[in-house]
Amino acid sequence: MRWHKALSASLMLGFVPLAAHGASWAQYWRQIDHSAYVQVGHGPVVVYDFFDPNCYYCPAPYKMEQQFIQEGKLTVRYVPVGFLTPSSLGKSAAILEAPNPPVALAVDMEGVVQNGTGGVRAIDPDAVARAGLQYNRSMLIETGVDIVPDLVFRLPDGHVGMIKGVFPDSVLRDIVHGRMP
């Protein structure tokens, strides 16, 4: 069933109005900063990319983001949620607890592309990772979405929004250039 939701999300580009779910995007942006994430890049534009280590569609946004990260335009905070398959929680923990989380994330994304099952092995999460992953899942659910991939962004004018599912590279380009997609 989770795979079906990921597939449905990948086939459409959606913008989610968080206010309809009882919270403001400004409040949400402050809360999401407390999630357990893997940061890649140090650009002026910050986005949060919700993913599952077993998600077949999650490597697409990951790959698109790399160009902007390498150009110094983008900071991505990858937020694992670990719910698609029984091994997802343990793989999410393996990424968060790795000696070099960005490398573990890259290995996993490449593994998903190569074999569909990811490139890291599941571990038993420690208490900190387990709590962080529970918080991450609650942040995803707060948006009214329970699919991945999802991208939460804030524009220079303070507007915060969310894109659900796989999106065309023009959407990320607009965000990096401070425009609403």
Give the residue extent of every domain in the chain.
Answer: 2-176
C-alpha dihedral sign at 2, 171, 75, 35 = negative
Is 70 exceeded by the pLDDT of residue 86? Answer: yes
Domain 2-176 has CATH 3.40.30.10: yes
Q: Quote the pTM value.
A: 0.88
CB atoms within 10 A of CB 10: 20
Render pLDDT for 103-157 as a digit per residue (tens, 0 to 9).
Answer: 999 999 999 999 988 899 999 999 999 999 999 999 999 988 889 999 999 988 8
